[in-house]
Structure 1
Amino acid sequence: MKSALEPKAAPKAALAARRMALLAETHAAGSAAEESEDWVVSYMDMVTLLMIVFLTLVGMLWIDKKTRPTVVNVLQIETGTLPRHDFADAAMTPEAPAAKPAVPADQPLPANVTVSPMTRATVDRWVEALRRNGLEDQVQLQIQENRVSIAIRDRLLFASAQSEIGPDGQRMLHRLTALLRDLPGVISVEGHTDDRPIRSDRFPSNWELSAGRAGAVVRVLTDNGLPVRRLRAIGYADSRPLVQNTDPESRARNRRVTLVIED
């Protein structure tokens, strides 16, 4: 009887062993799948942290934009006239107050111009300082929040395609030094050209010409008493035009040296 039952028991034992093997394989596969997806959790954590940092930076920029003073308007003064331009408060103020306003205080401004009393006083002092030094018809003045730009047409300083400053330019820079000497801040002397290319042994391109002109102006300013530590020379070539270079007049406007005083 015992031998007759053994053939039936063998298939059952084999079936049970096969089931156990299948269960073991299933469990191992599930564990491997779980382990293989662990990196997804770490990746999502990293993405979440980056998103939090990004939103924090955006919030800080938004707050800074809302709270800091923003300059959106500019005053330009050329040849003693006041074009129709808005401008905002200027923090840079010349030392010596004007004996009388260069622009009468009772003279109405254009309807699209609004200024605070501090701004109008600052503008008046600058206009008077330029007139007192004989510069009102030779430079273009731009007043912004914490910087003042004084642009000089290249023909007042240099011959065509040259970087040597003539006698008239020397005298003008001497008067300009008297205006700048007591002002605080760093003075950047920027050379600008038009878009016409230049090819010479001394100036292979407009980059060298603009840098050479800026350096020549810095040299004259230091010779007239401005400290070297306050000055720097920069050549921009034709990379920052004021207007499109479409005709001789527009090109003449773009050829300039600009003194930028930053407090």
Structure 2
Amino acid sequence: MNEQILAHEFTAAVRTEPPLGFDPDEVVTRVARRRRNRRIVLLAAAGVVVAALAAVAIPATRTGAGVPVQPAAPSMVPSTGERLWPPVGVEVAQPTEARLSARAPEIADHLEAVLGKMLPATDGLSRKLNDSGRFAGILPASQVGVRTMAHGGPDGGGYFVSVDVYVPAAPVTRFQPRQLCADLKKEVSTATTCRYADVGTGGVRMTTEEDTVDRANTKQHRITVTDFRADGSYVLATIANSPGVSGALPLTADQLAALASDPGLTL
């Protein structure tokens, strides 16, 4: 079962002409003083502009060592899961079957490379599933994309990691992640816990965890991180004990979140 689950305005003062009855020497003095004041103001203004440009340009392009500054990571704010997703105004692109078929093995290879750096080398990670198409779910109720699953641990049977890259199938219905959590509690386990974070201007990250008991009465743990992205796509990353196996999982929720937000996982 798939657990699927954002000019400046200038003013000028106009002064009246001096009266006809005036002292020429006073006028000359006044004009000279005005010119001097105007020159001082212009030079000061030029200095402010140069300083402002330097303050903006230098931090935005180079470090003190001459190395380009990396873009800041999207801000994350803990939330209650009420942000609508996909973001209002975003038109979710629907990939073709040919595109999905081509991306499936590429995503699987990328995932294998990433997990090879995150998981113990002795786990013997093996790919068990890699396909693409249209799939049913909870929220969204229908999606198109790519699924990949790998098994690891002793003899490749201790746990599994699955990564799904999807977009909601048209017609797209917007929802709140907290609605998805409520449905998961009904459909999967009442003990499911959910945490949310608003990411950037339109993204949402949802982390769910639950303890279940399999048919052999073995206690198992599952962690799922869903990275609902601002462009209307989303990545579902899950790690759980294999059937009949109970034990600590090799990836934490934070590591799974890093996996789900991997920029290489796109359609």
**Bigger strand share:** 2
Which category of TM-score, normalised to the shorter sequence, fits these structures?
A: 0.3 to 0.5
TM-score by length of 1: 0.37
Instruction: Give the number of the structure with larger relative contact order, counting CA–CA contacts within 8 Å between residues 6 or more apart.
Output: 2
TM-score by length of 2: 0.36
Which is higher, the Rg of structure 1 or of structure 2? 1
